């Protein structure tokens, strides 16, 4: 481990439990690089996670961390931010955790534009619980609960949270680690609800059921299938078939929930209300 990031890990908790070739560690590395790059105070930074392979990340990190209940990471994070708005709060979730059982919390955190940085590890499947399809499994792809291929359509997560009210939305893959680090930094700087989707490999479940090859081949596919949004500008903006758009996808200004709430309380107090 590089000495500049070692301080962010609970070394005694390693080795981690992830499978060889899993992309989760790559996301984690980009996250600590971003925290280091932002110069955040380790004692004023909180990592919240839900349930699933990705959410085990919180246990390996040496911050104040909460490994919470399935789908509820954003609800816990909202409580933390409400009671201590000065803290930096990062929320780590898997695709199933965030968009299925946690979908309701997701849209309302985005709608409120609460100042949190959500990072969604999208491996297109429920890895820990046995490879079931999630709302982020692409149509026709296989899972233990879709042995002939899923007949559902996957969420377009960036469009979903943008529509719900998020003010920063980005996407990267575990192949594009420098980009991912920069996007997490920009997401954190945004005062409002920010979400970074990370396409990451689960060779054990998604990769195996869909015959996507070795972990290295899955990473290579991430490189080949990605198109940076900057390269789409100037064209008609259409995404070529089978490609995944990465980069900073959306940025907007909107009132931040806690600031609005506290301002409303202050105004009432000044009027002599209770
Ligand atoms: Fe990673 Fe998939 Fe293994 Fe979970 S099951 S640790 S997501 S490779
Ligand atoms: Mg998953």
pLDDT in tens, 26-35: 999 999 999 9
Give the pLDDT score at 242: 87
Cβ burial of 61 (10 Å; 0-12, 13-18, 19+) is buried
**pLDDT tier at 272, thresholds 50, 70, 90:** confident
pLDDT in tens, 193-221: 999 999 999 999 999 999 999 999 999 99
Give the pLDDT score at 234: 67
pLDDT of residue 119 exceeding 90 = yes
What percentage of the chain exceeds 90 in pLDDT?
93
pLDDT of residue 2 exceeding 80 = no
pLDDT of residue 108 exceeding 70 = yes
Residue 219, both tokens: 């990473």
Q: Is 204 in the pocket of ligand 1 (CB under 6 A)?
A: yes
Q: Is 73 in the pocket of ligand 1 (CB under 6 A)?
A: no
Phi-psi region of 95 (alpha: psi -120 to 50; beta: other; left: phi over 0): alpha
Distance, CA of 193 to CA of 182 (rounded, Å): 17
Give the pLDDT score at 4: 81
Could you give the count of Cα atoms lying within 13 Å of 104 in the half-sphere of its Cβ?
4
Any idea which fold 3-273 has? Rossmann fold (3.40.50)
Q: Is 50 in the pocket of ligand 1 (CB under 6 A)?
A: no
* Ligand 1 atom at minimum distance from 21 CA: 8
Cβ burial of 270 (10 Å; 0-12, 13-18, 19+) is exposed
Query: Cβ contacts of residue 109 below 8 Å, gap of 6+?
Result: 74, 77, 78, 116, 118, 193
Mutate to test the pocket of ligand 1, among 204, 207, 209, 215 (most ligand atoms within 8 A of CB): 204
* Ligand 1 atom at minimum distance from 203 CA: 8
Mean pLDDT of the chain: 96
**pLDDT tier at 239, thresholds 50, 70, 90:** confident
Distance, CA of 130 to CA of 68 (rounded, Å): 20
Q: 187: part of which helix (H) or strand (E)? A: helix 177-189
Distance, CA of 206 to CA of 64 (rounded, Å): 32
Q: Which residues fall inside 5 Å of ion ligand 2, going by CB? A: 94-96, 123
Q: Which residues pair with 228 in a beta bridge?
A: 246
Find the mean pLDDT for residues 77-87: 97
**pLDDT tier at 238, thresholds 50, 70, 90:** confident
Distance, CA of 33 to CA of 228 (rounded, Å): 21
Q: Is 53 in the pocket of ligand 1 (CB under 6 A)?
A: yes
Q: Which ligand is nearest to the CA of 129?
A: 1
**pLDDT tier at 237, thresholds 50, 70, 90:** confident
Give the pLDDT score at 133: 97
Q: Is 34 in the pocket of ligand 1 (CB under 6 A)?
A: no
Phi, psi of 137 (to 5 degrees): -80, 125
pLDDT of residue 114 exceeding 80 = yes
pLDDT of residue 273 exceeding 70 = no
Q: Is 19 in the pocket of ligand 1 (CB under 6 A)?
A: yes
Smallest CA separation from ligand 1 atom 1, residue: 22
Q: Which residues pair with 28 in a beta bridge?
A: none
Q: Which ligand is nearest to the CA of 24?
A: 1
* pTM of structure: 0.97
What percentage of the chain exceeds 70 in pLDDT?
99
Smallest CA separation from ligand 1 atom 2, residue: 202
């Amino acid at each position: 481990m590089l000495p500049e990031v070692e301080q962010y890990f609970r070394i005694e908790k390693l080795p981690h439990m992830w499978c060889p070739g899993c992309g989760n560690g790559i996301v984690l590395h980009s996250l600590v690089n971003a925290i280091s790059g932002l110069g955040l105070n380790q004692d004023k930074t909180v990592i919240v996670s839900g349930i699933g392979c990705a959410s085990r990340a919180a246990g390996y990190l040496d911050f104040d961390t909460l490994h919470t209940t399935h789908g509820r990471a954003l609800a816990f994070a909202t409580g933390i931010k409400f009671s201590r708005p000065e803290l930096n709060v990062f929320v780590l979730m898997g695709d199933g955790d965030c968009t299925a059982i946690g979908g309701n919390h997701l849209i309302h955190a985005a709608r409120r534009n609460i100042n949190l940085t959500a990072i969604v590890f999208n491996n297109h499947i429920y890895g820990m619980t046995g490879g079931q399809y999630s709302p982020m499994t692409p149509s026709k792809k296989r899972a233990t609960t879709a042995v002939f291929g899923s007949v559902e359509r996957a969420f377009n997560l960036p469009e979903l949270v943008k529509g719900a009210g998020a003010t920063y939305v980005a996407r990267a893959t575990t192949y594009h680690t420098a980009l991912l680090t920069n996007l997490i930094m920009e997401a954190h700087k945004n005062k409002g609800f920010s979400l970074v989707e990370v396409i990451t490999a689960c060779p054990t479940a998604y990769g195996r059921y869909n015959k996507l090859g070795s972990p290295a081949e899955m990473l290579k596919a991430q490189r080949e299938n990605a198109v940076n949004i900057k390269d789409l500008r100037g064209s008609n903006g259409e995404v070529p078939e089978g490609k995944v758009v990465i980069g900073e996808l959306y940025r907007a200004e909107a009132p931040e929930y806690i600031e609005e709430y506290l301002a409303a309380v202050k105004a009432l107090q000044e009027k002599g209300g209770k």
